Structure 1
Amino acid sequence: MFQDRKQIILSFFFLVCGIYLLRLLYLQVIDDQYHTIGSTGALKKEVQIPLRGQIYDRNGKLLVANVDVYDMYVTPYKVKQMDTSMFCRLFNISRTYFDSTMAVAKSYSRNRETLFLRQLSKEDYARVADAMVSFPGFRFELSFFRTYPAHTMSNALGYIGEISKKAYEDQEVEYYRSGDYVGITGLEKQYEMELRGRRGVKFTMMNVHGENKGSYSDGEFDTLAVIGKNLYTTVDVEIQQLADSLFQGKTGCAVAIEPATGEVLAIGSYPYYDPNILSGKQFAKNFKELYRNPDKPLNDRVATGFFRPGSTFKLVQALVALQLGAIAPSTAFPLGGAPVKCHNHPGSPNDLHNAVRFSCNPYFYNVFRKTMSETSETNPFKAAPIMLSKWHEMVEKFGYGQKLGIDLPSESSGLLPSVKYYDKRYGAFQWKFSNIYSLSIGEGEVSVNMLKMANLAATIANRGYWVTPHLVRGIGQNGRGLKPDQKQIHRTEIDSRHFEAIIGGMQDAVERGTVGGGAGIVEGIAICGKTGTSQNKKGKDNSVFIAFAPRYNPKIAIAVMVQNAGFGGSVAAPIATLMIEKYLNRVIKRTAIKERMLNLSIRTVESMAAGGASKDLRSLSPQSNKPTISEPTAPKSKPQSEPVKVIKTTFVKPKETNLNSTK
């Protein structure tokens, strides 16, 4: 019995050994694939970087394109004895740069490729290609850098840069390599997955001497690079460039939206800079200059800035009061008895129409007071939280106190004060209307970005609803790929019939009200607008204007803010109406107003504190379309670079508020 078991075990053992020997014979003698690997000695993997997708405006004009360049990579263990001086002369770099970059590459990995030199032009590559046989361990890879033919929309388009060390290490699926470019801000970051494309891989057989022995397995395992998908934006570049020119010498922002669709027609934060200066080898130098500029051009004032809405908020107050029944279009209030002063306008606003037309502070103080008093509670400390809760719920429907959902990565929510906010500040049942009345005219604790102001104009133009603002209308050749929530319709709780009461006043405000001097009148176009004067702790007030046009079947809604420019009708309104005129008529006939705005320069408090006007940011070391070899800054750490941080404008609530100059 024992002998039988022994024979069985031995037979099984010899059978397994025989199978392994036969398999080894097949792999080493019969199969050509493995025989080739054994004879040649190495398999080389070459990564093919696809071109990044391009970006176009709504009319097919190119906003962002690519220029082909070559990047040089080094594998330290392959670098043998070489003429370092000749190498440095060939590439116009110093010995210090060579030594420090090699040290970084070796500390990163002796066996893995590391980026050594970026962005050689095609001409430079052709000049040095033949000489590379003398420098083993170095190789070139076709790459690209971004170029911006329209020279505009720097904040919204964003820029690309090397992947940060943290992002590189946090990849769930390994895709990026050290030194790869990724979107850092703006649309470049928001649509990174679509724009980047899919990289290809090519396997090549190499012998022990490093000579190319042909494609591995006839290219069976090779994959082709797939170019990134193009973005087709909603922006009209002609309107965008007009805004750029009108904001020369000024600080602020402008945004225009198509009310019916939520498509953003123009979006500019000023002072702006030519986006080409953050593309190429001068990135670090130019970014430092932008960062230090006192007018903070890196701030995206449209989507991330915090500002008081000023008198534009009176429109929301009126609509909420109308819906709640606190007032009617014919409701009149006396000018006296309010803690906010009135402007010098003819007569007493005897109805809502004229209150909007002349932006009457006491009128809207009383509107908010009536809204807060529509309750059976007699104790004002208990009544205020009850009505503020309802007020907050209705105002929130306009998009205040939340993100609107625009396809940009850094949108701010702003602040819409709630019962919880005031309870924390004053204590539960320790505050009443007299503590919050500054909200009536858009001052105090409420803060918004300019995107929300433009969205308010679009909501009024639509008589009660708004569509999620978005910058991209199509992705790829078929123009599809947008998420459903990017075109979502949001409805307020305001009946459409209530809007006409304020829209008539808005048209009169432009034609014979707070805009004044005919600066807002465009022949043949009924523009409905509202001026605002947003207060500053330092310097003159911010000039604010929101509008839509035409009055019926509106095509454009707009918001403009110019810092330290005073009343809303003085500077913001002319800029906004010029943009409306250009968009609807495609030509500007009011040349005198245009010239006045082009030549008007306003120094901000920041610029004055810095001792003068800011440098023209459009001419900082512009990048040529043909990069040349120049010595880059020697890296001080491993090749992965941390992303640069963009400064964000923040809202700081002042301790005291002057409520007598909002218009």
Structure 2
Amino acid sequence: MNEGRKEVLQLVFLLVGFIFLVKLFFIQIVEDSYKEMAGVNAIRKEPQYPIRGIIKDRNGKLIVYNNPEFDLMVILHEVKHFDSTRFCQVFEKTPQELRDLFNNFRTEIRNRKANQFQPFPFLRQLSTQDLAKVQDHMDEFPGFFIQDRTTRAYASKAVANAIGYVSEISKNKLEKDKSGFYRQGDYIGQSGIEAYYEEYLRGKRGVKHLMRNKDGVIKGSYEGGKYDTLSVPGQDLVSTIDLTLQEYGAFLLNGKAGSIIAIEPSTGEILAMVSGPSYDPNLLTGKNYSKNFALISNDSLKPLFNRPLMAQYRPGSIFKIAQAMVALQEGVITPETRIRCDRSIINCHGPHSNEDLRGAITNSCNPYFHNVLRRMLNKGKGGNPFDDTRIGLAEWDKHIMSFGFGKRLGIDLPNEKRGLVPSPEYYDRAYGGRPWKFSNIYSIAIGEGENMVVPLQMANFAATVANKGYYFTPHLIKSIGSTGMPLPQYLEKHYTTIDSANFRIARDAMERVVEAGTAQYRAKLKDIVVCGKTGTVQNEPNPDHSVFIAFAPKENPKIAISVYVEYSGQGGRAAASIASLMIEKYLLGGTQRPNIEEYVLKGKFLH
């Protein structure tokens, strides 16, 4: 009997001991809250934010750098005897502002499901001046401490749309982040180069473990920094941008809507990429970010809209260069082919009558290129006019898209648009399955109708003609970190379907456009042979857009450019003037024609 009681007591003791062991296991190993409470009481983990990589222009001029800033952090568990009146005095806040801070703070804690043992930002983006005022008073507010970090600063506002901006990662982006790199409160590139090269610029976060006593006073590093990790700075970038040229382009485009893109043909490096209207990127840094972003994003002029790669326009007459080369490649014309300027077919402009190909390009003859496209699309390969046009258009598409039209070129920026090269399938959808033929689509012959391009594609096209048949994908970064190289995809040549001999004819014709054609009055330069083409893009019921592409000098070209100026009429006015001034600035260091610069700055292009 006693033996039975003894066994029962032993079993009870074993069971109680097992329960304690299980509970201890859960407390020490499984249950984070107890471990966190113990750890937070003795050790504070302080993140070490990395310095974000800086960005320079191709000549070493600083474009983007970092300024120090500070966040006032709080650990709710450690806040004791909070003196709100004293806090308002030290931090220069009104009682209402402090109440608003606490309300916002509580809302964020609920939204992020944070707990009272975690550090959490209470006041963000204090400046060095703010820090100087408060740092001697921090011991008056237990539970609060200063976290240092950096914010972006921009040496020039002329590169805003290309560089982009940085801000705190949104809840939506954080939830989609599969890398596990980001934490709430981290900064991330939101647009432009800052977004595209985020993984190179951001660096790697470190952590410092700090010991503190029962009153929360920091007593030094934990175990001599044994468990600390250093932050790793982000990689610096060297841009392809020539900052002097970029700022000159912004100066010329000021007060106008449009874009300027200049490319070095031999490399695909973008020398200037100006979007107008634009904004000051320094407004999207610091404590006023939210207020300024709301103002900029709601601006009816859309300064955040990056026109060089997001605006889609009809190409206008500059597309005739592409039409000419495709027709030569297909053998439907020769350089000597003459076609009468029959204005009963389609309207035209200027005094000319029976031009050859070079003359048709020089005078931008609409009936000539109407006839050329008809010859390309109607070769008698189909059993009827509808099938014939369909077969011809498919062949035309293949050539036109080899120039980079109708697709994303792959620039190192987000949000690039495709434009549109109309295909047979496109017209099938447009006509709802009804038959269509050349007479329905002939306006694409002169760059109107369904053709759509982005300005980047037209600058790349000018570079392709300059290179006699190939291009490098346009890009904005020429060196990442210490590599001295861009990303590998920007070193690859892309060839068109057109023989290089046909480009020589196009180059000759573009030289004549500037020497004696539609661009002679404002694009011709005294000591530089400029090859260009004007375009006047229909925009009814509003004024036409002014368009111009060019490259220079003709031999061994150093710069290719496209300019779009919205609502400014003929291509030989606003766009040709701006393009030629940019060429002068880049090749000669400044303009020799102050009258043309004055004409551009006045902006009275329709008079």
Q: TM-score, normalised by structure 1?
A: 0.83
Q: 2:303 aligns with which of 294, 297, 314?
A: 297
1:400 matched to 2:402: no
Q: Which moved more, 1:59-68 or 1:293-302?
A: 293-302
User: How is 1:150-165 mapped onto 2 (pairs within 5 angstroms)?
Assistant: 150-165=156-171
Structure with higher helix content: 2
Aligned position for 2:335:
329
CA contact (8 A) 1:319 1:494 kept: yes
CA contact (8 A) 1:76 1:105 kept: no
Aligned position for 2:417:
412
Shift of 1:195: 0.7
State the Cα deviation string for residues 340-366 of structure 1 (Å, max 9, x = none): 211122x32420001110101111111
Aligned position for 2:60:
60
Q: 2:375 aligns with which of 370, 392, 400?
A: 370
Look up the equivalent residue of 2:544 and give its one-letter code. Answer: D
Shift of 1:167: 1.4
State the Cα deviation string for residues 125-176 of structure 1 (Å, max 9, x = none): 1221121112122111111221111221111100011101011122223222
User: How is 1:496-645 mapped onto 2 (pairs within 5 angstroms)?
Assistant: 496-517=500-521, 519-600=522-603
Q: Distance in 2 between matches of 1:61 and 1:88?
A: 42
Look up the equivalent residue of 1:334 and give its one-letter code. Answer: R
Q: 2:436 aligns with which of 431, 435, 450?
A: 431
Aligned position for 1:619:
none
Which structure has more RCO (C-alpha within 8 Å, separation ≥ 6)?
A: 1
CA contact (8 A) 2:569 2:605 kept: no
Q: Which moved more, 1:579-588 or 1:278-287?
A: 278-287
CA contact (8 A) 2:574 2:605 kept: no
SS in 1 for 2:394: helix
Aligned position for 2:283:
277
Q: Distance in 2 between matches of 1:329 and 1:566?
A: 30
SS in 2 for 1:153: helix
SS in 2 for 1:409: coil
Look up the equivalent residue of 2:534 and give its one-letter code. Answer: T
CA contact (8 A) 2:55 2:236 kept: yes
The 1:602–1:230 alpha-carbon spacing in structure 2 relative to 1, beyond 3 Å, is: farther
Q: 2:265 aligns with which of 241, 246, 259?
A: 259
Q: Distance in 2 between matches of 1:248 and 1:569?
A: 19
Q: Distance in 2 between matches of 1:39 and 1:226?
A: 26
Q: Distance in 1 between matches of 2:142 and 2:107?
A: 18
SS in 2 for 1:399: coil
Gaps (5+ residues) in structure 1?
1-13, 25-36, 604-663
Q: Distance in 2 between matches of 1:254 and 1:402?
A: 20
Q: Distance in 2 between matches of 1:324 and 1:40?
A: 76
Shift of 1:600: 2.1
Aligned position for 2:10:
none
Q: 1:207 aligns with which of 213, 218, 224?
A: 213
Q: Distance in 1 between matches of 2:546 and 2:269?
A: 25
Q: Distance in 1 between matches of 2:568 and 2:374?
A: 30
Aligned position for 2:293:
287
User: How is 1:460-475 mapped onto 2 (pairs within 5 angstroms)?
Assistant: 460-475=465-480
Q: Distance in 2 between matches of 1:161 and 1:292?
A: 18
1:72 matched to 2:79: no
State the Cα deviation string for residues 194-238 of structure 1 (Å, max 9, x = none): 111111111122232223333223222211112111110001011
1:90 matched to 2:95: no
Q: Distance in 2 between matches of 1:600 and 1:40?
A: 64
Aligned position for 2:6:
none
Look up the equivalent residue of 2:556 and give its one-letter code. Answer: N
Gaps (5+ residues) in structure 2?
1-13, 25-36
State the Cα deviation string for residues 573-628 of structure 1 (Å, max 9, x = none): 0100000011111122111111221222679xxxxxxxxxxxxxxxxxxxxxxxxx
1:446 matched to 2:451: yes
Q: Distance in 1 between matches of 2:174 and 2:145?
A: 23
Aligned position for 1:49:
49
State the Cα deviation string for residues 427-466 of structure 1 (Å, max 9, x = none): 5570100111010001111111100010110010011111
SS in 2 for 1:490: strand
The 1:293–1:214 alpha-carbon spacing in structure 2 relative to 1, beyond 3 Å, is: closer
Shift of 1:55: 0.6
The 1:136–1:524 alpha-carbon spacing in structure 2 relative to 1, beyond 3 Å, is: same
Aligned position for 1:626:
none
CA contact (8 A) 2:163 2:193 kept: yes
CA contact (8 A) 2:321 2:506 kept: yes
CA contact (8 A) 1:308 1:448 kept: yes
Q: Which moved more, 1:381-390 or 1:369-378?
A: 369-378
Q: Distance in 2 between matches of 1:530 and 1:321?
A: 18
Q: 2:179 aligns with which of 164, 173, 190?
A: 173
SS in 2 for 1:303: helix
Shift of 1:331: 0.6
Q: Distance in 2 between matches of 1:337 and 1:522?
A: 33
Q: Distance in 1 between matches of 2:279 and 2:378?
A: 50
1:246 matched to 2:252: yes
Look up the equivalent residue of 1:395 and give its one-letter code. Answer: I
The 1:462–1:338 alpha-carbon spacing in structure 2 relative to 1, beyond 3 Å, is: farther
CA contact (8 A) 1:250 1:602 kept: no
State the Cα deviation string for residues 362-404 of structure 1 (Å, max 9, x = none): 1111110111112333510110111111111111101111100
Q: 1:491 aligns with which of 492, 495, 512?
A: 495
CA contact (8 A) 2:573 2:605 kept: no
Q: Distance in 2 between matches of 1:468 and 1:40?
A: 52
Q: Distance in 1 between matches of 2:318 and 2:305?
A: 23
The 1:155–1:593 alpha-carbon spacing in structure 2 relative to 1, beyond 3 Å, is: same
Look up the equivalent residue of 1:201 and give its one-letter code. Answer: V
CA contact (8 A) 1:415 1:448 kept: yes
User: How is 1:123-134 mapped onto 2 (pairs within 5 angstroms)?
Assistant: 123-134=129-140
Aligned position for 1:317:
323
The 1:375–1:485 alpha-carbon spacing in structure 2 relative to 1, beyond 3 Å, is: farther
Q: Distance in 2 between matches of 1:163 and 1:39?
A: 28
Q: Distance in 1 between matches of 2:49 and 2:143?
A: 20
Shift of 1:39: 11
CA contact (8 A) 1:331 1:352 kept: yes
The 1:40–1:355 alpha-carbon spacing in structure 2 relative to 1, beyond 3 Å, is: closer
Aligned position for 1:384:
389
The 1:474–1:40 alpha-carbon spacing in structure 2 relative to 1, beyond 3 Å, is: closer
Q: Which moved more, 1:409-418 or 1:91-100?
A: 91-100
SS in 2 for 1:371: helix
Shift of 1:46: 0.8
CA contact (8 A) 2:63 2:155 kept: yes
CA contact (8 A) 1:105 1:114 kept: no
Aligned position for 1:354:
359
Q: TM-score, normalised by structure 2?
A: 0.90
Look up the equivalent residue of 2:334 and give its one-letter code. Answer: A
State the Cα deviation string for residues 233-276 of structure 1 (Å, max 9, x = none): 00101111111111122111000000110000000100122221
SS in 2 for 1:152: helix
Q: Which moved more, 1:524-533 or 1:293-302?
A: 293-302
